[in-house]
Every structure is written in C-alpha cells, then in structure tokens.
Structure 1
Amino acid sequence: MDPITLEILKNAMCSIPEEMGIALRNTAFSPNIKERMDLSCALFDWGGKMLAQAEHIPVHLGTMHKAVEEVPQMKAEDGDQIIMNDPFRSGTHLPDITLVKPIFFEGKLVGYSANKAHHADIGGITPGSMAGKTTEIWQEGLIIPPVRLLKRGEENKEVMEIILRNTRVPEERIGDLRAQIGANELGGYRLSEFINKYGLGCFKEFTREIIEYSGRVTRKGLSQIPKGNYSATDWMDNDGVSDKRVRIKAKLEVGDKIKVDFEGSAPQQKGNINAPLPVTKSGVYYAFRCLLGEDIPL
C-alpha cells in the first residue's frame, strides 16, 4: 500500500473512535463523563489488535485489549455487547466499566468497537472510586464478569437490573451505560461504512500495513535511547490504610530490546492502590510513547 493511501485510510480510521468519544460525552448523564471526560474509545481488528484509539485516558487505552480478549470465548453474535469491570479481566478498577461490541460485515467478524468509562458509583461502602480503609475488592463495589448487556440488539434487562440495584443513583448509571452502548453502535456503523467504501480486501490490507508501520516507527524511536542500565526509585505517601510509605522501583535494561523490571518495589498492599498487570503495562507503554516524537497510530 502506498504511503498516501495509508495516510488517508489511517486518518479515516482514527476519526471513528474520536467520534465515538464525542457521542459518549454528549449523551452521558454524569459530570464524571460529560465534564471530566473520564472515558476512552478504540477500535480493534478481528483478532483483537488495536487499530485506532482516541486521545483519551492512557491507562484505559493500554488495558482495553484485555477486555476484547474476553469476547471470542463467549461466542458473541451480531448485535451483542459485552459488559465487564473485573480488574483482573478488563484492566483497571471497578468504576471503569468496559463495553465491547463485535462488528460483523456480511456475516463475518471484522473487528470490535470498545469503550471504557468511569462511573461515579458502582456500589461498595461509599460512593466514588477509592474509598479509604478498604482492604478487599468486594468493599469497593459490584464486580461484573464478562456478560451480555445487549443480546442480538436487545437490552438484557436482568443484567441491567442487577447493576442498577447495586448502585446509589440508578437513573444516572442507566443513562451512562446507554451512552456507552450508543458509542459502540456508532463505532460499528462507521467501520461498516469504511469497509463499504474501500472494500473488505483493502480493509484487511490496511490493518496489516498500519500495525507493521506503527511497529517500525516505534522501534526506530526507541532505538535512539542510549544503551545501558538505568534505575529510579519513588515513593507513595501511604496505601490508604497504614501510614507507611510505599516504594516503587524500576530498573531499565536498554539494548536491542528494552526490559523494565520492578523488582525491589513494595509488595502487595492492604489498601486499594494495587495495580493489576495491565495497568502496570499501561504506565510503561505511556512513558515510552511520550519519548517518541512521531505521530504514531497506536
């Protein structure tokens, strides 16, 4: 694929999650999403590889692929949307609810639209996202495993009722969830338009080219970092339960590849500051992404 065509298709693809984010923000009920814009939107190919992401929350965008990986085993059909917030299966913390929509074109799976939004309340001992003195995840709120919120285009009223009965402001929660549903539907519609316009063969060639291009540019940028060993240590004031400071230590080995080692950091804490592995990886991804000057489609 020639560079001009690749650039045109890249910008067309990247506009889709940006538009999804605008739709989600404009239709959400809570200030947390409408005003703080604590949301993220992305598109993935049929194999779960990210094709395009909007410029939203880095820690969301580095973890959303984990949610997409949960969908194939559920044998999702056209019109389904899968909801989840389990930190060990979709990335971040309980208030960040993820919805994933499989996208079909002429009966074949061609990709996924996904979004994650921070809900102001998901149950637990207090409203909000990080209640003080909590020592178990069950104190933080309702844990939602991957389950269909939409089935063949119809809202799963039983699942929705379980969520609403476990939150303090159900009218706000249902408004935000339906805004997320709508954003994913928009993403699916726009991707189908893209394929209709350029053809399925062109779409598949583009997905291969853009992923390879992103990899080449990223490797070139990271190769500019001087080879060697680096280390740094920082501290958090406490874990929200005890008054002890929490050590974070990182060691980097820069060669043909870059290895980041957190050995020497504090062990798991009693408080709610522990990060699932996808969140840790997101922090690393974002740090290196900030070192790259190129406009890279990630």
Structure 2
Amino acid sequence: MSIDPITLSVIQAGLQQVCDEMDLSFSRAAFSPVIAEANDRSDGIYSAEDGALIAQGAGGLPVFVGTMQYSTRTLIEMIAQGTVAAPKPDDIYIVNDPYLGGTHLMDVRFARPFYRKGEIFCWLSNTGHWPDTGGSVPGGFSASATAVEQEGLRLPPVRLFKEGVLDEEIYAIICSNIRVADQRIGDVKAQAAALLVGEERLNALLDRYGDETVSEAIAELRVRAATQMRSYISGMPDGIYCSTAIVDSDGVVNEPLEINLSITSEGDELTFDFGGSSPPCLGPMNSVLATT
C-alpha cells in the first residue's frame, strides 16, 4: 500500500463525515416527523462499479445502509442493460420496489451519480420512510394484504430529477397514487438536497487529497473491511450452528411460519442455509433478498 496510515484514517473519517452531514441535512429539512424526528432515514456512498458500500453515516439505519447496496447495484445493472435511462450530471433516480433492492414500499430511495472529470466516481444514495405511498390502508401496513400492490405504489428506478430539475409528470403520477400528497414535496426536496450536500462535501474532500489518493484509500478500506470480517469469522470454532424461529401466522392464513437457519463455519467463511423454512406465504410476511 502506497497510502500512509494517517492519510488513510483521515480520508476514512472524511468519507463518514460526508454521510453524517447528508443525514443531518435530510433530518433537519424533512417535512415528515418520521424522518425529521424519528430519523427513519440513511445516507451512504456507493461504488460506481458494483454498488458496494463505501461509507455510511454514524446515525443511519443499518437496514437501509445495507440494502441500498442492492438497489444501487440493480440501478447500475439496469443502466448497463439499457432498461433504465443513462444518467447525466445532477440526475436523481427514485426507486422503492422491494424486488429491486428495496425494503417495504414506504422506504423510498434516491440515487445520484457523483461525477469527477466527466466520469461517474461513485453514487450517493439515501432512503427515507415516507408516511404513505398509497395502497389499501393509510401508511401501507395492511395486515391482510395478499399482494405487494395492496401495500402501495411500486416504483422501478426512474429519473425523478433530470439534470437538477424535478420531472413534474413523474411526480404527478406519484402524487396521484398516495395520500397527503401535498406534504410530500417537503420530503422530496429534503431528500434531494441531502444528496447535493453530499456532492459538495465529497468534492471538497477530493479537491483536498486528490482523486487518485481518495480512490486508493477507498480500495484499501474495502480490502481491510473484508480482511477484518474474515479474521472475526476465523475466530469462531468450525461447525454448524442452527436456529429456528416461529411466527404465529402471516395474518391471513392461521398457520405458524417456520424460519430455519443453519450457519456453517469453516475457516474464514460462513455459509447460510435457510433450507426447511416455510415457503412464501399468502399474507404480508415475506422477505425479499435484500432484507434476508
């Protein structure tokens, strides 16, 4: 490694500070109490190559920070396939589809490409819990839902902001399918502004240390994170560890659901096996890949 440990540590802290400021901006500017007061939100920096997490804020929800890797990776893949419009500077994509890396429909993700020298350096992304995204009941939490469409509006990755300008037609479609639509613009603008704060702070960090040095630091941090995790795993005795959890019912069919998990520890690797678990259920208790 050519980057010295002190510079590496400073850049690592700088990347986290970028995310911390995005989190703070989002919470302070958001209209909805669930974001502004409960901090049901997260911001992060993600790899331009594979969507992997680069940095996160200290106060972001881990479930959002982790699953945004999946939604960012899906977005990158769909852009490469041509099924989603290619990005331009100041574009912001919106997505909440659980099957494309989301959680539940009320958790709405924004993703903004971050450019340096005309190329995408990384992605800035955040998630905020909107109070309502449509569906059969206010708030989206229907205990009797038997299809995801009953829980609200599903959005695949689509550009909500095009070169910094809100697409009023797409926003009108969203507002026509949700409750208290007049309140959402406060969250939309807060969410977009948080990503702009991230862009400004990340540009300042890169201007100070240089693109090459920061890129080298990011690569080294990813290697160290993997090495540290493997070190923790290797400290576990080899073997198979099993656990079972029971859910009384899915809310629709009055039968218990079983979640079986066996973890095989071998050297510095873990294998997770959910074999023997109940099949997908009729009620709203299923888990998508990103949240499993």
TM-score, structure 2 as length reference: 0.93
What's the offset of the Cα at 1:71? 3.2
Q: Percent same amino acid at aligned positions?
A: 34
Q: Which residue of 98, 105, 109 maps to 2:109? A: 98
Matched residue, 2:27:
25
Quick one: which of 166, 177, 188 aligns to 2:177? 166
Whole-angstrom CA distance in 1 between matches of 2:165 and 2:56:
27
Q: Which of 47, 57, 69 pairs up with 1:54?
A: 57
* 2:101 and 2:289 in contact (8 A); partners too: no
Letter in 2 for 1:5: T
- Deviation of 1:193 (Å): 1.1
Q: Structure 1, residues 188-218: CA drift from partner, whole Å, max 9, x if none?
A: 1111111111111111111111111111111
Separation of aligned partners in 2, 1:204 and 1:52: 13
| Alignment RMSD | 1.2
Tell me by how many angstroms 1:164 deviates. 1.0
Runs (4 or more) in structure 1 with deviation over 4 Å come to none
Amino acid in structure 1 at the alignment position of 2:275: E
Deviation at 1:173, TM superposition (A): 1.5
1:137 to 130, 134, 148: 148
Cross-structure match for 2:45 = 43
State the alpha-carbon separation in 2 of the partners of residues 233 and 208 from structure 1: 38
1:70 Cα deviation from its structure 2 partner: 3.4
Matched, 1:262 2:265: no
Amino acid at match of 1:81: I
Aligned to 2:283: 271
Give, as a single letter, the amino acid of the residue that structure 2 aligns with 1:54. Answer: G
Aligned pairs, number: 280
Which residue of 223, 231, 249 corresponds with 1:238? 249
1:199 corresponds to 2:210 = yes
Shift of 1:58: 1.8
Q: C-alpha separation between the residues in 2 aligned to 1:71 and 1:197? A: 30
- State the shift of 1:221 in Å: 1.3
Q: Choose from 80, 100, 113 the match for 1:89.
A: 100
- Structure 2 distance, partners of 1:127, 1:136, is 16
Classify the secondary structure of the residue corresponding to 1:229.
strand
- Match 2:228 to one of 209, 212, 217: 217
Deviation at 1:141?
Answer: 0.7
